Each structure stands twice: as C-alpha cells, then as structure tokens.
Structure 1
C-alpha cells in the first residue's frame, strides 16, 4: 500500500482548547476577559461551576451600572458612598474582590491557552498584552481601593475627635439643622514654643444654609473680652462662684489676659474637669461662648493647625493670589501673647504672585500694624485661592501625602457619617453668594459712652441683633440696644455691618499707597524694614507711618 500523504500540522498557538470554540484567538480571549472576567471559563465546558464565571462579571457590571446611574442623578449619594465609614468599607471590599477575580481569571487563562506549549514569539506577545491588561483591570481596582481606604482613614482620624480623659472616643450624633442652618465653629491656631498651650488666632463661625449651601461667615476677634456663657454652661457656674481670678458674673472677664483667644487653653489647663464627656473641653467651651455671643447654636467645631498648614500648601504646589498691600513676615515674639515682635524677617509684596507654604502661612496670620479684620480678609482669600486652584492631577498623584497632611492639620468632632452631606453643601456653595460680618471693627463699634473699641467693650445685645439681621432672623431673644446705641457710634456700626453682610465680592487689589510728597521715599521692602527697625527702637512716628502704609494689606483676590 502506498504511503498516506501527511496533512499539514496545525501550529501550536492555534490549537483548539477544550470547551472553547477553536476560531477564537488567544488575544481575543485576553481582551474579552478584561470586559467579562471569567467569560472564557464559562465557555470552556458544561460543568455546573462554570456558571459562577458568568455570575461574577454579570454582578460586577450590574453594580457598576447602578453606581454610575446613581452618581449621575444624585451627587450626594456618590459622596456619601465614598466618605461614609460603613459604605466606603463595603466599596473597598468589593473593589478588592474584583481585583482578585481579575488576577485569578487571567492566571487561569494562561492554563487554558496552554502557555507552556506556545512558541517563544507567541509567549512574548501574550505577556506584552497580558501585563497592561492586568494593570488596567486588577491593578486599577486595587489602587482605587487603596485610595478610598486612605481617604477613609484620614476622615476617621480628622473627624473622630480626640478621646476623653478616660480614653473613650465620644460618639457624636448626626447634626440636625437649627432654623434651617448648620453652624460650625472654625478655629485656627497653633501651640508654638512661645505659647502656653494652643491658642486660636482665628475664630470664625460658619453658618450654612441646609438647603442651598449658601455660607455666612462671622468672625470673632481673638482679643474680644468679657466672653459670656449660656445659663446651662458649667463655665458660667464656675466663673460665677469661683475666686474671680478668671472672671466674675459667669463671664471670662479678668482683663487683658482674659481675651477669647486665651479661653481655649485656659479651659484645657484649669477647667477640663467640668467637661468629663468632651474629648476637647476647650473646644466645647468655645462652642458655648460663641453661641452666647452670636445668639445662634454652634453645633460642632473644626480646628486647623497653622504650623502644618504650610506643608499642605507646598504639596499643592503653592497658591497664587493678588495681594493688595505689603504684609510683614513678623520677627520672633518677645512676649507670650505675641504683642511685641522683633523687626520683620521679610515682606510679602503687593501684586500677583505664587506663595509657597511658609509665605502663605504668614500671609494668613500676620497682623502687625493692622487690625485683625485685615488678617481675616487675607485668610478668606487664601482659602478661596486653594479651592479655586485645586489641581486634580496634583490631588491624584499626591493623594496619600495630602490626606496624611490633612490628619495633621484638621481636628473636628463632626461625625464621619455626615461628611458627605457637608461636602455636597460645599459644592453647592460655590454658586452661592457669601455673606460676612465681624463682631468688632469695622463692622461693630461699642455703645459704651466714650469707648468705641468693641472687642474691649462689647455690646452682646448688639452683636446678636446684627447676626440675626444677617441670617434673616428676628432677634427676639436679645434685649434691645441701650439708648446710646441710637447715637453716632451705633449708626456707624449699622452702616458698616450692612455693607459687610451683603453679598461678599472679591476685594479689588489696591495699589500701594504713594508718598504724599515728592520728597518722600519710594515704598520698598528696604524702606519698610527701616521704619520697622526705627519703630522697634522707640520711634512712634515710624510705627504710625507703617500703620498708614499697611492699611490696605487686607485687600486680596485669588490669582
């Protein structure tokens, strides 16, 4: 018999796979698995377990569709999913399961395509396609879980609040709007080497409309005296029945040392036992006195540590502003209240510029030769610039560092379960006008005859009245201002408060003041430094000149 002619051998890389149609190419299997992980395994045979390989990708796509549609129709739902401690943990687990499923199906797919039997060139091609697909599927879902977990941990560290004296972490209930608003007290300060405990340099009440997200900011000067407490506050009883060292008649009113900026440290040092269930007794006392000063219920606090604030700015790549006037970078403080400093170590010039963290910190906190009001305006400008210039690419590439910095900068007793709601309101607020008021100059002046310095001689009935007007409320719970309030001082206060409580518009940078005579020197940092040194050495006229030249340094707009 003649020899049977031999047929052409099928190349090894095209050999059919049991349970998989022979017409499918290996690269098709790899790509198809990226969209339906496990679908190739479903097609491999008739064993009942193969249905699991169909159920998992079906559930994955059903879940992704649900999340996508929900996020598209309800932004708040998505934010809550990412920030709620329980919901975010469920999401992390789901992402890790998907990542592991991709890894398992791809590795087993190598077995199905008989990878060891492939030619050398085919192996290289499979690896060249498989590695990017693994990164895009298993790697990306695992990395997403990692980022969400970092954010979840950071939010937990920031918003859990400090533990009580006996080691318990207070459970903060969800906040309910009061008269349609959420009222949060924000304090900014640090505990530097020249300070006794943490002292807030910036105290600001933020009142948020619970529906529209519209924000009203009310600044309380740090040097406000005679801070009162509500009737149910333990501090009121302590300062009524105490030895009078820190105040009498239930108020923190022992003189210049009893400014509201010192209250936080004083309570944590001397009166913390009055608040056994509070993680931060000083913050709780600040909430109480702020409520009494403003006539609104302050519900929670946020404390910003200014020392670490500079690091966050650096991570963001700096912040660009349009500065309206010269701002000194103050020299070392020569007393424990920061009232006397060595001459400035530098100056921030007027004009558009990018500030690094160190410069932005000083731009936010400097108050030499100006009122606290100017500093408050600059602080608002820096925050607005940070939000406006937030770069998504920077946030993505440095997310872990920024989240870690956040835990070192911010402390709050707001429940993490409610963060999603506040983020949603913050996003709404971007399209809303901002109202603002300062409980002191230039918005309010004292009604005490012969005294106009409101922080030193406060009229709390007047402050409550102005806050009520600003928020559109009726100040029925406050007594009417005294007869003297109808005089010129009250008229000036009313006019100023009305101006500031209208929609806040960006301050227009004002050019540097020009000398009044042709013989006056040009305003440069060298000239300003010369004046500062002269003032430090006792030249009062030099100090007065600096006060005049720096009067416009509160003017600032985001760059």
Structure 2
C-alpha cells in the first residue's frame, strides 16, 4: 500500500487524471486526463507556431483577449490540478501505508499541489495584470508599415523638474530599426540645436519656415530643440487639436515633426519616459550594470552644484537613484557627455530587460511602467516589436550623436552634414570585394 500510494502521487503529477483512471473515480479521471492531454496538445501547437511565426503568437498573447483567455485557462487547470491531487490522496489510502511514509507522501503531494496550483494562479495573475498594464500604456489604433524598410521611433526623456514650467524633454533621440533584421541605430539629437527645420506639413513649422526661431525668435525664452515641446504644449496647443485623441500631445507631435525635419526620416511612433519615475523602473528590474568610462558625479540636489559622491571608471551596478543621476549629471560635464551616457543607459536597459528578468519582477515593473512610459505604439504592434527587439538585443547598436566631435555646431548646424552622417549610418557604403 505504501508503494501504491507513491505510484498514485507520482502518476498524478506526471499525467494528471491517470491515477483516477487506474484506481477508481474513472469519470473524474477521464475528465482530468482529457484536460491534461488537451493542455499538452495546445502547448505543442503554440510552441510549433512560435517557432514558425513568433510575431503572430506574441501578438495573440499581448492582446487583451489572448491574455484573458490565458488567465482563464490557467485558473481552470489550477483548479483541476488541486481537485485531482486531493482525490489522489483519498485514493492512496494513507492510513494503510507504512506509518513513517504517511507524512512524507502527504507532504510531497501537498508541496507539488502548492507549486503547480500556485504557479497556475500566479500565471493567471500575471496575464490579468499584463492586460491592465498594456491597456494603460498602449493605445488602440491601426498599425503603421515600415518606411524604406525601417521603423523609426522618437525616444524622449521627459524632465518635469520643480524649476521648470511643465515637462520638457531632457533627452531626445530617434531609434531607427531595420524591420527585417532588427539592427538598430540611435541618432542622438542635442537639445540645444538651433534653427531646427520641421517636416513638410508641420503646423508649427508653418510659423517658422526658415527654422525654429531663425528669423524673429520664438514664443519661449530659448529657441532650441527642446523648447519646441514647451511652445507647442503651453503656447500653441490649438495647432494640434487631434494630438491627444491620437495618444500623443501637442508638444510631442511638434517635437516629432522637428525630429523628422532634422533626420529626414518618417517617424511612426514615439515613446516618452518620465525621468522622475525612471528610477522606479530601474529598481523594479533589480538595477542596471553600466561600464563607466569617466568619473561622473552624483549631486546632492536639483541645482547640480554640490557633489555627493563620484562614480569611478569601471563596471558599476546602479540602483534607480544612481542610474538617474548617471544619466542626468551636469557638474563638470557637457550636454554631449550626457547624451552619450543616456544612450549607454538605453543600451544597458535593452540588454538587461530580458523576458526572464521582467517576468521574475513583473509586478514592480508593471506598476512602475504605468507611471513612467507614455507612447502611441498600438497594442496590436506589440507582438511584432517584442519579436523585433529579441533580434535587436543580439546585435550591436550603432550610435550617431550629433555633437561637435562629429563636426556638428548646435548654434549653426549644417543640415547637409547631418543628413550625410545619418545616411552613412543607415545605409553604409558596401566594402568592395577584392579581385581574385
């Protein structure tokens, strides 16, 4: 009877329902066995589909319907498992087993029940929370096709400090991704660029046909790239009446049009990261590892004048507070240094925010993400972009900083030179094949 009890508990774990079919309760056993075999078949089908069409499978499981179906299925199978395990203990007749084996068998079965049933419950929780998170962050709308084989995304680091009138982009870049390979190029735009052009059809650009503030100044204190957001958001929101309905804002839309004018690229989407909540996201992911190239100070307050301590060169593990200061530090450094550090931080996050890490810390990541990220990427595109990001993570990221070291003067920018830099990065000249 002791061996029989062990066999039933093991069979219940390996093939739920089989213990009931063999030892009684055949009606329950057939139901459990059918549910188990159906689950195995579904897992095989989904796994095979993922190998062939990963984007399609990810799209299904990043949709609200797909996530709620997954949550319901996990709850159903969790309940079935618990019922079958309890019934297996009844069938095992532990009172007829050896006295020393009874608590061991019962404990082992209970541990398995908690692990599997609890795992199913936690999976259902993650699916439901993910659905809520995606609905909060991402919009519903049509997908945009790639342009010239590329997806271009405006990435803004928003800084709504106490000394500022509203939010203003502290970092501005365009990430251009090849739709077929996932190869990514980051174009860092200095926030102090002047005489910025706008793309054709821009509402704000119609007021500044020669470039932002180039003729008679602008409507804010400084006519630079990151001031475009402020002017459109606070002074001229009427120029973009449909922006909010499209998941954007007047400031974001005007900045996007400026980024298109600078780069010559068609930008399909934007992502705005609130730098004040950025540290929460880093903490939720367990910190970030950064290879510090030069000494970088951490300040005592927002005045950036007094140094609390320094990051020394070498590999550093930073929490959210430290990572935010690493990206924003100004003491004894330039805007261009900050641009490079922010690009480095983006690359480090991309490398370390892998699915396993995000899943393990999902609750904190989701809670931070709803407060940190704003975007107009439609939820229907998530599966495709998740698949594309997995390719990007395995490739080196090309960086194109528009800084003086690359011959760019932000006060008098040469737009033809900027265009040449970007073209050289996106469409590199092929290396001639040596003659045999």
Match of 2:191 in 1: 222
The residue aligned with 1:26 is 5
Q: Give me the whole-angstrom Cα distance separating, in 1, the residues matched to 2:27 and 2:345.
A: 62
Question: Deviation of residue 392 (structure 1)?
Answer: 7.8
* Structure 1 residues 317 and 55: CA distance shift in structure 2, 3 A: closer
**Residues 156 and 444 of structure 1, relative CA distance in 2, 3 Å threshold:** farther
Name 2:65's counterpart in structure 1. Answer: 86
1:471 maps to 2:426? yes
Partner of 1:379: 342
Note closer, same or farther for the CA distance 1:404–1:75 as it changes in structure 2 (3 Å cut): same
SS of equivalent to 1:236: coil
Q: Which has the higher helix share?
A: 2
Q: Is the 8 Å Cα contact of residues 190 and 339 (structure 2) preserved in structure 1?
A: no
- Specify the alignment match of 1:259 in structure 2: 224
Counterpart CA distance in 2 for 1:213 and 1:120 is 62
Partners of 2:219 and 2:233 in 1: how far apart?
A: 17
Instruction: Describe the SS at the equivalent of 1:197.
Output: coil
Q: Deviations over 1:204-238 (max 9, x none)?
A: 00000000111111111111123333332222345
Give the 3-state SS of the residue equivalent to 1:436 in structure 2.
Answer: strand
Mark the CA change 1:256 to 1:294 in structure 2 (over 3 Å): closer, same or farther.
farther
Residues 462, 109 of structure 1: CA spacing in aligned structure 2 closer, same or farther, 3 A cutoff?
Answer: same
**Match of residue 35 from structure 1:** 14
Separation in 2, partners of 1:197, 1:138: 48
1:144 to 2:123 alignment: yes
Pairwise CA distance, 1:66: 1.9
State the 1:304 CA deviation.
1.2
Q: Return the alpha-carbon distance in structure 2 between the equivalents of residues 394 and 466 of structure 1.
A: 36
Structure 2 residue 85 is the aligned partner of structure 1 residue 135:
no
Which residue of structure 1 aligns with residue 243 of structure 2? Answer: 278
Going from structure 1 to structure 2, the CA distance change for 1:388 and 1:298 (only over 3 Å counts) comes to closer
Deviation for aligned residue 1:58: 1.7
Structure 2 unaligned segments of length 5 or more: list them. Answer: 432-436
Cα pair 1:206 1:215 within 8 Å, conserved: yes
Q: Does 1:178 align with 2:174?
A: no
1:106 matched to 2:85? yes
Q: Which residue of 2 aligns with 1:201?
A: 170
Moved more, 187-196 or 370-379: 370-379
SS in 2 for 1:234: coil
Distance 1:322 1:45, change over 3 A: closer
| Correspondence for 2:281 among 309, 312, 328 | 312
CA distance in 2, matches of 1:391, 1:224: 34
TM-score under structure 1 normalisation?
0.67
Is this contact kept in 1: 2:67–2:130, CA < 8 A?
no
Match of 1:168?
none
Distance 1:430 1:184 in 2: 16
* Matched position secondary structure for 1:370: coil
8 Å contact from structure 1 (residues 227, 253) kept in 2: no
Structure 1 residue 362: Cα displacement? 1.4
Aligned to 1:518: none
Q: How does 1:307-386 map to 2 (within 5 A)?
A: 307-330=276-299, 332=301, 342-386=305-349
> Aligned partners of 1:284, 1:125: CA distance in 2, in Å?
65
SS for the counterpart of 2:175 is strand
The answer to which of 198-207 and 77-86 deviates more is 77-86
Kindly indicate whether residue 278 of structure 2 is the aligned counterpart of residue 287 of structure 1: no
2:415 pairs, out of 446, 460, 467, with 460
Distance 1:223 1:54, change over 3 A: same
Question: Cα distance, 1:441 vs. partner?
Answer: 1.9
**8 Å contact from structure 2 (residues 219, 231) kept in 1:** no
Q: CA RMSD in A?
A: 3.4
1:318 offset after TM fit, Å?
3.5
